[in-house]
Amino acid sequence: MNEFKRAKEEYESTPIPAELEDRVRAGIRQGKANRARRGWGRRLGTVAACFVVMFGVLNLSPTVAAAAADFPVLGGLFQVLTVRSFTDENGDRTVEVEQPAIQGGGAFAQQVNEEIRKRVDTKTAEGEQLVAEYKEAFLATGGTQEEWEQHNLAVSVTYDIKSQTETVVSFLVESDVSFTGANWERTYYNLDLAAEKELTLADVLGKDWVTVCNDAIREQMAAAEDPAVYFAADQGGFTTVDETTQFYLNEAGDPVVVFPPYTVAPGAMGYVEFPIGQ
C-alpha cells in the first residue's frame, strides 16, 4: 500500500483540467444527496447468487487470487476472508483490489457478501472510468501522449477490520482514485452475525442515542484546537446524527461516528471521526 500512498500524494498535486474538476465537484454534491437517502436495505438489494456459487465464479477468473490469509475471528464460528486479491497494471493505471467476505452464517451473511461484491465491482469500474475521462481531458487540454505515459494513476478498493468479538465484527470497505479525493469513499459494516443483523447506533447506545451522539460531537468540536475549522450549522455543517450516519465499533466496543470529507469540515481533513463513549 505504500506505493499507492506515494502515488496518491504525487498525483493529487497534478493540475486537473477544468472540465474534469466540474465533474468531480458535481459528483461530490450528488454523493452528499445519495448518502442522505441511503439505508441498509437499499445497500443490500436482492441476493443474486448463493455464497458457494460466488466463490466458484471468483475462482474461475484468471485475475482472482484466493488469499490464504484467513482472519481467525468470531471464535471460529465465522471467518472474514480475502476472497479476491489482485493488482492489475497497464499504461494508464494500476488497479489494486482486496475483497472481503464472511464465511459461515446464513442468508444474512450471504446478503452482506453479495452487497460487498457489487460494491467492489462498481467502485473498481467507476475508478477506471474516471481515469479514462481524466486522460481524455488531459489530452484535450494540451497534454501529449508522451506526457500521459509518464502517469500511472492508482485505483484502489480495499478493506480494514476495525474490531471483532465472538459474534460481532466491524469493518469498512474503502475505494479511492489517486489523483482526486472526490472519489474516496468508505462504507462501514457493523454486524452481529449470531443475531443475523446490522447493528445500529440505537442498538449500541440505547433509546437516547441521538442526544448522546450530538452532545459528544458538539463537545469534541468545541474542545478542538481550532473549533472554527468545523462548518457552522447554517453553512451546511453538523446539525444532528440520524439513521444514515456512518460509524464503526472500536476495540473497546464503543461507536466512532464518521463523517465523509466536505460534510462537517474542509476536505483536507478527510474523514472526520468522533468517538462516543458509553
* Selection from 160, 100, 126, 112 nearest residue 34 by Cα: 126
E strand or H helix that includes residue 212: helix 209-222
Q: Which CATH class is domain 200-278?
A: alpha beta
Share of the chain above pLDDT 90, in %: 55
Band (149; pLDDT cuts 50, 70, 90): confident
Which neighbouring-strand residues pair with 192? 168, 197
At 115 the three-state DSSP class reads helix
| Segments making up each domain of the chain, as ranges | 2-199, 200-278
- The sign of the CA dihedral 188, 199, 162, 61 is negative
Distances (CA, A) of 2 to 5, 6, 20, 80, 261: 5, 6, 27, 24, 22
- Report DSSP state, residue 35: H
14-18, 91-95, 192-196: segment of lowest average pLDDT: 14-18
The answer to whether 186 and 152 are in contact (CB under 8 A) is: no
Q: Which of 35-39, 144-148, 222-226 has the highest mean pLDDT?
A: 222-226
User: pLDDT tens, 60-71?
Assistant: 333 433 443 444
Q: Helices 107-140 & 51-60, crossing angle to 10 degrees?
A: 40
pLDDT at position 181, please?
Answer: 66
Residue 236 CA to residue 180 CA, distance in Å, equals 22
- Please say if the pLDDT value at position 105 is more than 60: yes
By CB atoms closer than 10 A (0-12, 13-18, 19+), residue 20 is buried
Beta-strand (E) ranges in the chain?
79-89, 93-103, 153-164, 168-177, 180-192, 197-198, 246-249, 255-259, 272-275
Band (273; pLDDT cuts 50, 70, 90): very high
Length of the chain (residues):
278
User: pLDDT tens, 239-269?
Assistant: 999 999 999 999 999 999 999 999 999 999 9
The answer to whether 97 and 124 are in contact (CB under 8 A) is: yes
User: pLDDT tens, 216-246?
Assistant: 999 999 999 999 999 999 888 999 999 999 9
Residue 185 CA to residue 151 CA, distance in Å, equals 23
Q: What fold characterizes domain 2-199? A: Heat Shock Protein 90 (3.30.565)
- Please say if the pLDDT value at position 125 is more than 60: yes
- Please say if the pLDDT value at position 212 is more than 90: yes
The answer to whether 209 and 181 are in contact (CB under 8 A) is: no
